[in-house]
A and B are shown apart, each in its own frame.
Chain A
C-alpha cells in the first residue's frame, strides 16, 4: 500500500543569535501508512515537535528546512508555495496543540472556533458544519454535545477543552492529524478519558496520526509504531510491541528503565529512632477575604494533619487543584495558614515566614517546580549559590568559593558552570542548581514542589537518584509534592493522598501499597502502564469516575 507520508532525509537548521547555523534535525526518514498512528518520542530538544510541524511545511521562526523531502499524500511540502501549503493546512493535515487552553480564543464561543476551518476552506455550509461538530463532540464522549459548543473556553474543564481541540482538528476530515503532547498538561484521572476518546475516534475514522510525546506509557496505549528520537536523529523505529519488549538501542532501554518502578531499597529499620521532625496539626489555609469564622473564603487546604519523621520522606499526591501546593506554601510560610499549628523539631513555627527566626528559615527550605522562574536570570550560578552561604553562614571569599564548588559537586555539576547564567543551562542542570541552593542552607527538611514534573523521564529519574543519594549522605528529610505517583513511590516512605483540600488517606509504602480510600484507588489505577493493552483492559467504576474525575 502506498504510504500517506514519506519523509526522506529531512534536515532542519536553526540560526542562532550570533549567526551560527545549527542542524537540529539531521536526516530523518519517516513513513506513515494511511490510518496508522506513529508516535514520536524523545526528550525535550530531541526535535520531535519540529519534525511534526514540518509535516505541515512549517518551521518555527529562525528555523528552516535545509534538505530532504516531505511527501504527504503525494505533495512535497518542502517545495510547495506558502499559499499552497495554507490550502492544505487544516484541511488535509491538522494539528492538536499541547495546551488547548492557550489555543482557544477566550472571547469566542467554542463552536465558532471549531467550525472556523470549514469557513476558511469553504468546505461545507454553516449548518452542516455545526451538525458535524456536534456529532464529533458525541464521538469524543463530551457531555451535553448539543450545547457544549455554545460555551466559552473558560466554562469547560481542561480535559474537555483538549477533546474540543481534537474536534477542531477532525472537522475537515483530514488525512493526517498531528497530536503535540495533547495530554501532558492533564491529570492522570482526566488523561484516561481523553486518551480513550482520541483512540476510538481515530480508529473509527481511519485517520493517520502523528503523536508527539515524551511519555512512553501514554504512547504505548495509542500508537501502532514508535519512533525514538534524540538530538534530531532517529535512534530506533519499530512497532509498539517491539519497542516495548525488544528494544535494541541503549537509549530506548534507558527510556524504558526510567519507567520501571524503583521502590526505596532501604527498609524502615535503617532509621534507628524516628522522632517527629515536622508536625502539622489541623492546618487550614486559603485565599480570599476572611469570613466571620476567621477563615478565608476559599479554603484550599482544610484541617490537614501530617507528621514527618527525621530522615524519612513524605509524599503528597493529588490532582491539580487539590491543595497540595497551597499546603507546601503554608508550611514554608509564604501563604500564612489561617488556623492550625506547625512545629519544626519540637519548636513552634509562626504561620508567616516573616515572623520565623533566621534559624527556622534555614532549617526548612523549599524547592520550586520551575527552575526557570526559581533562579534569577540576571545572576550567575556562583551568585545564586553563594547568597544563602553568606546570608545564613556568613561565608566570604575563598571559604565561600570552596563551598560553592562542593555544592556543585554534590549535585554532579561541573565547576565550569559557576560563571554561567541560568539561561545557559539545560532544564535538568537548572533543577540541580535549584536544589543545590536549598542544600547551601544546610536544612533539616526540604520541601520539593513538583520538582521533576517539568523534566524529561530520564532526567527526572536522575534527579530522584540524586535526591536519594544526598539523603543518605546528609540525613535530610523531604516532603515531596507531585501529581506523579511513580515519582512519589520511588522516594517516599509515606504517601498522603489529597483531594479537594483534604487529606483522604495516608499510606505507608513499606507496609501496604494498596490504597483503601476510593479516590486513592482511582488515582493509583489511572497511572498509565507500559502495557499496550492497559487502556483497553482498564475497568473503572463509572460511579467513582463520576464522583472524582472532572474530565
Chain B
C-alpha cells in the first residue's frame, strides 16, 4: 500500500515501485536489442584484445571473451537473439494456446475432449528432452527454434486459458449472450477474453521467462543459436572455461539472463491495478 502511487488522477491506476523497476529493466533490454547494431563499440567477430578472458577496463567495459572479442558488443547483440526469439515464441505459444483454450471451453463436448487429451500428451514430454531431440534431428536454425519453443509451451498456455475460460463460461452473462443468439467467436473474444486478460498477461510473462531459460539452456548445451551468432545462453556456454579465472565474460551474460527473467517476474507480480474507488 505504501509502495503504490497513483499514475494519474484521470486513469486511476496504482502501480507499485517494484513493478516500475521491473518494467524499466525490460524496456532497457528491449532498447538495447533494437539498437544493438548501431551502438556496439566493436564488430562482434573482431578480436580486439591480445589476451583472452581480459578483465573489465575502460576500453573493454565487460572485458573480453575466450577469443579476445569485446564482451559488451557480444552481449548487446546477444540480447537481440535472447529477447527476439523468446518473444516470438511466447507470442505464438500464448496466442494459439489461448485461442484454442477458449474455444474448447465454449464449444465443449468432443472438441474439448480430443483437443485436451492431445495437448496433454504433448505436455507430458519433458520440454528440454523434446528440445534436444528436435534440435538434434532437424538442426537448429532460428526459425526452427522459434517454432519448437512455441510448440513446447502451447499446451501449458492452452490449459491455463481453458481453466480460466471454463469459469467465465458458467457466468450468467455468457448465458444471456447465448440466448441472444451470439456466435461462438463473439462470445470468445468479446465476452470472455476481456475478463481473463489480466491472468493471461501474467501467464504470458511467466511463459516468456520459461522460454528464455529453456533457450539459454539449449544454447548452453550447444543446440540453440549457432556460432558466429550467440545469445546469452551461448555466451555463458562458450566462456564457461573462464569461470576459474573469475572472468567477466561468463558472469556478465549470466547476470543479463537473471536480470531479464527476474524483472519480468517483478512486473507481472506488480501489474498496474485499477483503482475502483473513483471518488478520491
Residues of A within 8 A of B (CB): 15-20, 332-334, 353, 356, 358, 361, 365-366, 368, 370, 373-379, 387-388, 391-392, 423-424, 437, 441
Contacts and interface: CB of A to CB of B under 8 A. Distances in A.
A350 B76 CA distance: 65
A297 B12 CA distance: 52
A17 B14 contact: yes
Contact of A374 (B1, B12, B173, B180): B173
B182 interface: yes
A334 B176 CA distance: 9
B184 to A, nearest CB: 11
Nearest to B181: A361
Contacts of B12: 18
Interface in B226-245: none
Given A374-B172, A378-B194, A378-B195, A18 B179 contact: no
Given A18-B14, A376-B191, A333 B277 contact: no
Contact of A17 (B191, B197, B276): B276
B280 A16 contact: yes
Contacts of B276: 16-17, 423-424
B277 A334 contact: no
A334 B14 CA distance: 40
A18 B277 CA distance: 6
Interface in B163-202: 171-173, 175-176, 178-182, 191, 194-195, 197
B159 to A, nearest CB: 22
B233 to A, nearest CB: 39
Given A19-B1, A20-B280, 19 more contacts: A16-B276, A17-B276, A18-B14, A20-B277, A20-B279, A332-B179, A333-B179, A353-B181, A366-B179, A368-B172, A373-B171, A374-B171, A374-B172, A376-B173, A379-B194, A387-B180, A391-B182, A424-B278, A437-B176
Interface residues of B, number: 26
B272 interface: no
A388 B180 contact: yes
Contacts of A17: 14, 273, 275-277
Contacts of A388: 180
Nearest to B279: A20
Contacts of A15: 1
B155 to A, nearest CB: 26
A361 B179 contact: yes
Contacts of A361: 179-181
B6 interface: yes
A50 to B, nearest CB: 18
A17 B1 CA distance: 8
| Residue picked from B176, B181, B276, most chain A C-beta under 10 Å | B176
| 7 A-B pairs with the lowest CB-CB distances in the bound complex, closest first | A378-B194, A16-B277, A374-B172, A18-B280, A20-B280, A373-B172, A368-B172
Given A17-B275, A20-B280, A376 B194 contact: yes
A370 to B, nearest CB: 6
Contacts of A441: 180
A388 B180 CA distance: 8
Contacts of A374: 171-173, 176
Contacts of B181: 353, 356, 358, 361, 391
Nearest to A374: B172
B176 A368 contact: yes
Contacts of B4: 19
Interface string B252-280: 00000000000000000000010111111
Contact of B179 (A334, A376, A379, A392): A334
20 contacts: A18-B277, A18-B280, A19-B1, A19-B4, A20-B279, A20-B280, A332-B179, A334-B175, A334-B178, A368-B172, A368-B175, A374-B171, A374-B176, A376-B171, A376-B191, A376-B195, A378-B195, A379-B194, A423-B276, A424-B276
Contacts of B178: 334, 353
B179 A375 contact: no
A326 B204 CA distance: 40
A370 B172 contact: yes
B279 to A, nearest CB: 8
Interface in B1-43: 1, 4, 6, 12, 14
